[in-house]
Amino acid sequence: MSNQEVAILGVGMHEWGKWEDGNFVAYGVKACRDALQDAGVAWKDIQMVSGAATMRCGYPGYVAGATFANALGWQGARVNTSYAACASGSQALSAARSAIAAGECEVALVVGSDKTPKGFLAPQKGDRPDDPDWQRFRLIGATNPAFFAFYARRRMDLYGATEEDFARVKVKNAKNGLHNPKARYRKEFSMESVLGSAMVCDPLRLFEICATSDGAAAIVVSSLDYAKKVGKADAPRIAAISTVTPDYPCATVEMPDIATDSSASVTVPALEFKSSVPHAAYEEAGIGPEDLSLAEVYDLSSALELDWYENLGLCGQGEAEKLLRSGDTEIGGRIPVNPSGGLACFGEAVPAQALAQVCELTWHLRGEAGARQVEGAKVGITANQGLFGHGSSVIVKK
C-alpha cells in the first residue's frame, strides 16, 4: 500500500461528563477551537471538515461535517460525514486522510461529538425485524452489558479469567484517569470497592462497565509538506488507519449478531475479526506489536480490555491475565494500555471516542501527557469496534 502518512498538527477535546444543558454542537465547537489553537492554524485556512455522525442528536447529528462547518462559520471548506457506530471517528479521520492523499486538500479538521441519553444505549425506536441491533434486544433481551458479560464468561471458561482480573483492569485504568483533566471519572478504586459494587450482568459489576457520556474530540491533520510549511515538520504522524470488515465465516459471535456463520464447508480465517483490525494497521505501517510504546483500547467493559491484549498481539492467546498481573500494561510497564483511563474513566461519547484515543497518543508522543506520561513514547496504536462489522485501528508515530 502506498504511503499515506499525514501529520497531526493539533488536537483538542471537550471534557467528558453529563450535563442537563448544553448540546453536542457546543461541545464539538470547543474541541475544534482547541485543536485549531493547538495546531496554530486559522479556521479560515481549513480546507475540509470531516465529521463523525451521531444518531441521537437530530438532523444536525446526521450531517455532522456540515453542522460544525456552519457552527464555526461557513468559509467554503469541503465537508464529509461518516457513520460507523463506535468507529465513526476513525472513519471520519480516514476520509480526511484520503482527501489529503488525493490532493483534494492540504489541511483538514476532523471532529466527533455526542450528547447521550442516561442509561444503556438502545436501538432506534420502532419495529424493525430486519435490523440485527433491534433483534438482539427483542429476541434475547441482550443489552450491551449482557453482551459484555457473554465475552467475560467466555474468557473465564476458556482461559481461567477471574472476577479479580476484571476488577484489576478497572483499578489500573482508574489510577490512570485520575491524572487526566478531560476524564469524567477521576477517582482511584480499590479491588475491594470494585468487587463490592452492584452486580449488573454476571460476572460484570457496576464499576467494570463504562457509562454513556457527553464529550467531544477534534484533530487537525495535514500533508507532510503543509506541516513543514507551518513549522511543524516534527509533528506526530498517522502511519496507518485500518477499517477492515470481518471475513466469512465469523466463528466468534460479534455484537449485534446472535449466531455465528457455519464453518462446515469453509475454512475459518486465520485471524478473528477483532485481531484482523490491528493486523491490517500493522501491515500498512510496516511495524509489529513489538514496536509499540502504548495502546489505547476499547474497554466497554474491563473484561473486553483483556481480549484486546491478545487481539493486538501484545501477548499470546489466553495470556492476557498473566500480562495484566505482571504489571506490564501499567504506566511504567512494558506496554502501557489505556494510560488515558480508557472508557472506564470517560464513558461512551460514540462519535468522539476513536478520535479521543488519537488525541491521547498524540499527547504522549509529544511528551505532554503530564502525570500519566509514557516515557519515551514513539509509537502508539488504538483499537475500536462498532456494530455491523465496523472496527478501527489507528497507528500514530513520531
pTM of the model: 0.96
Q: Write down the pLDDT at residue 264.
A: 81
For Cα atoms 80, 117, 203, give the angle at the middle one, nearest 5 degrees. 110
Average pLDDT, the chain: 95
Pick the CATH number of 132-209+239-397 from 1.25.40.10, 2.40.50.100, 3.40.50.2000, 3.40.47.10: 3.40.47.10
Cis check: omega of the bond before 269, within 30 degrees of 0:
no
Adjacent-strand bridge partners of 215: 114
Task: With cut-offs at 50, 70 and 90, classify the pLDDT of residue 334.
Answer: very high
Whether the domain at 6-119+214-237 and the domain at 132-209+239-397 fall into the same CATH topology: yes
Q: How confident is the model over 149-167, as a mean pLDDT?
A: 97
Identify the architecture of domain 6-119+214-237 in CATH: 3-Layer(aba) Sandwich (3.40)
Angle between helices 163-177 and 302-311 (to 10 degrees): 90
pLDDT tens for 229-268 read 999 999 999 999 999 998 888 888 887 777 888 878 788 8
> What DSSP letter does each residue of 252-318 carry, written as one string?
S--TT--SPPP-SSSPPPSS-HHHHHHHHHHHHHT--GGG-SEEE---SBHHHHHHHHHHTTSS-TT
pLDDT tens for 268-301 read 888 999 999 999 999 999 999 999 999 999 999 9
pLDDT value at 2 more than 70: no
Ranges of each domain in the chain = 6-119+214-237, 132-209+239-397
Task: With cut-offs at 50, 70 and 90, classify the pLDDT of residue 1.
Answer: very low
pLDDT tens for 310-326 read 999 999 999 999 999 99
Residue labelled with grid coordinates 478497572 = 170
Percent of the chain residues past pLDDT 90, beyond the cut: 82
Task: With cut-offs at 50, 70 and 90, classify the pLDDT of residue 352.
Answer: very high
Q: 170 is written with which cell numbers?
A: 478497572
Task: Say how many residues make up the chain.
Answer: 398
Cβ neighbors of 318 (< 8 A, separation 6 or more) are 158, 159, 310
